[in-house]
Structure 1
Amino acid sequence: MYAIIATGGKQYKVSEGDVLKVEKLNVAEGDAVTFDQVIAVSDNGLKVGEDVANATVSATVVGEGKGKKVIVYKYKRKTGYHKKNGHRQPYTQVKIEKINA
């Protein structure tokens, strides 16, 4: 059984027991999170639309952190303009506990 959920502007295919990194949530470590934006649920066939209107996915927060550094380098030729910048995107790591279809 799996579900497709939307959070942080992205979509994730999740199953029970999965651990995944989602965009930063304002939740403390160890707390429960409920994802109510369920796009599809698959158990003995795929259900979408009004069939999953009341579906939710329950998860617990495992931890928080920052992703790998992405280097942003700006350069304009002939002018001596160079600018190097780095960015590390924060994330929240969650473990999927139950899919309520």
Structure 2
Amino acid sequence: MYAVIKTGGKQYVVEPGQVLKVEKLNLPEGSSVEFEALMVRDDNGVKVGEEAKGVKVKATVVRHGKGKKIIVFKYKAKKHYQRKYGHRQHFTELQINEIVS
């Protein structure tokens, strides 16, 4: 059984027991969170849209952190313009507990 959830402007395919990194959520570590399922696939088949309404995905916040640093380098040829800076994206790691119909 798996489901598709939406958080942080992105969609994720999740199944019970999976650990995944999503955009930072303002929740303390150890707290639980529920997501509305956009699509569900189980033994009975696939449910999408209105059929999947009411299906919840329960998850637990494992930890918060920062991703790997990426370097952003801006450059204009022959104009002596260079800018270099780094960025580390904040994330929340979730443990998917169950998909409840």
User: Shorter chain as normaliser: what TM range?
Assistant: over 0.9
Match of 2:21 in 1: 21
Match of 1:39 in 2: 38
For these two proteins, the number of residue pairs brought into alignment is 100
The residue correspondences of 1:4-83 to structure 2 (distance < 5 A) are 4-36=4-36, 38-44=37-43, 45-83=45-83
TM-score under structure 2 length normalisation: 0.96
Opposite residue 58 of structure 1, the aligned amino acid is K
Deviation per CA, 1:15-56: give whole Å up to 9, x if none.
Answer: 0000000000000000001112x1100112111011111111
Opposite residue 40 of structure 2, the aligned amino acid is V
Q: What is the SS of the residue equivalent to 1:51?
A: helix
Alpha-carbon distance between aligned partners in 2 of 1:67 and 1:29, rounded to the nearest angstrom:
17
Alpha-carbon distance between aligned partners in 2 of 1:28 and 1:34, rounded to the nearest angstrom:
14
Q: What's the C-alpha RMSD, in Å, of the aligned pairs? A: 0.7
In structure 2, runs of 5+ residues without a counterpart are none
Alpha-carbon distance between aligned partners in 1 of 2:61 and 2:49, rounded to the nearest angstrom:
28
In structure 1, runs of 5+ residues without a counterpart are none
- The share of aligned pairs that are identical, in percent, is 56
Q: Which runs of structure 1 show a deviation greater than 2 angstroms over 4 or more consecutive aligned residues?
A: none
TM-score under structure 1 length normalisation: 0.96
Alpha-carbon distance between aligned partners in 1 of 2:70 and 2:10, rounded to the nearest angstrom:
19
